[in-house]
Amino acid sequence: MDIRTVTEMSEKLIGNVEKVIFGKRSEIKLITVALLSSGHVLLDDIPGTGKTTLAKALAKSISADFKRVQFTPDLLPSDITGINFFSQKENEFIFRAGPVFSNILLADEINRTTPRTQSALLECMGEFQATIDGVTYKLSPPFFVIATQNPIESQGTFPLPEAQTDRFLMKLALGYPDKKAETAVLDEYVQTSPLDALEPVCTREDVVAAQTAVRGVKVSELVKRYIVDIVDATRQSDRVRLGVSPRGTLALMRASQSWAAVEGRDYVLPDDVKAVAVPVLSHRIISRSQGTIRISESNSNIIEYILEVTPVPVSD
């Protein structure tokens, strides 16, 4: 698949999801970029803003297998990955696959389950495989996790550890729609849900081919140094206690490649890096003022300031 085809597919995908989620084109575009980057998304938002509907619309748009897990304190790791159970009929152990064996997994309210269960997703998200009772199973591509958490309620929650948070390519929030978009919601949902009539615009195989194609988007030495300069600035800033990890550096480059492809180019510009830097990096730092508690808005302001003061490379 060439970049032009990736661009056309992305535009169709974004437009299709917009039939269900109104007034959130930029957020849908970023989620599409995360999908093309083989990454995962953490949606940090209040209830009722369309997070579940967005995940379902995305799955329908690419003809993907969709699973949803409601994370609760009593959820076990085996409830996510699967179990081996003894079948009296077959007189042997049989593997029953968990919801991670899907293409798009919605991990709803991920911070309401215990760290032990949260960590069950680590291997799946990072290595696209699951190990159950010593046997490793590969996950079918594409594998895309959309996790949600409520930033307002903290009672009865288990904040995601750094290792888990760093596995997410982006952290986003849909937020409230504007008045025009919310009126459109009332118009479209007055009788039936537009999600019921949503048709696929591409296949899972198309997405996998696009994920491979975006890896070929050129990143010049100047842009690579620009990415490294931005990341290094998070480590040197007196406002940051914990800077971006090398995984974050790679994530920023991957997301920049995908953004460039969605924009119709086979090369990355500094503007592409700027476009994705805040959602890719803001959840990977801890500011000195916040201790161990993450405040997304504060972190976003720090990344935005770093982008302002970091010199943009200019090619001869």
Q: Domain of 91: which CATH number?
A: 3.40.50.300
Percent of the chain clearing pLDDT 70 (strictly above): 96
Ramachandran bin of 96, using left for φ above 0, alpha for ψ from -120 to 50, beta for the remaining angles: beta
- Separation CA 213–CA 254 (nearest Å): 12
| Same domain? 158 vs 296 | no
131: how many CB neighbours lie within 10 A of its CB? Answer: 12
| Same domain? 21 vs 153 | yes
- Quick one: how far is CA 181 from the chain centroid? 24
pLDDT for the residue 287? 83
Q: Are strands 66-70 and 129-132 parallel, antiparallel or unpaired?
A: unpaired
Burial class (CB within 10 angstroms; exposed 0-12, middle 13-18, buried 19+) of 238: exposed
Indicate the pLDDT class of residue 290, thresholds 50, 70 and 90.
low
pTM as predicted = 0.91
| Same domain? 184 vs 235 | no
| Same domain? 38 vs 141 | yes
Average pLDDT over residues 288-294: 57
Contact present, 21 and 175 (Cβ < 8 Å): no
3-class DSSP state of 240: strand
User: 243-285 pLDDT, tens per residue?
Assistant: 899 999 999 999 999 999 999 999 999 999 999 999 999 999 9
User: 137-192 pLDDT, tens per residue?
Assistant: 899 899 999 999 887 766 667 888 777 888 899 999 888 889 998 998 898 888 88
Residue among 261, 226, 195, 174 at smallest CA distance from 59: 195
Beta bridge partners of 240: 287
In a domain, 210, yes or no: no
In a domain, 23, yes or no: yes
| Same domain? 255 vs 137 | no
* Ordered alpha helix ranges (H), the chain: 3-17, 25-36, 51-61, 78-81, 115-118, 120-127, 162-165, 179-188, 204-214, 221-236, 246-262, 270-281, 296-309
In a domain, 208, yes or no: no
- Mark which of 179, 202, 225 sits at the end of a domain: 202
97: how many CB neighbours lie within 10 A of its CB? Answer: 15
- Mark which of 202, 226, 246 sits at the end of a domain: 202
Beta bridge partners of 129: 138
- Mark which of 177, 202, 227 sits at the end of a domain: 202
| Same domain? 236 vs 148 | no
| Same domain? 182 vs 257 | no
* Ordered alpha helix ranges (H), 111-265: 115-118, 120-127, 162-165, 179-188, 204-214, 221-236, 246-262
| Same domain? 196 vs 58 | yes
> How many domains does the chain fold into?
2
User: 60-96 pLDDT, tens per residue?
Assistant: 999 999 999 999 899 999 999 998 887 777 778 888 8
User: 27-61 pLDDT, tens per residue?
Assistant: 999 999 999 999 999 998 888 888 899 999 999 99
State the chain's maximal CA–CA distance in angstroms.
73
Q: Domain of 247: which CATH number?
A: 1.10.8.80
pLDDT for the residue 273? 97
- Which domain does 87 fall in, by range? 1-202
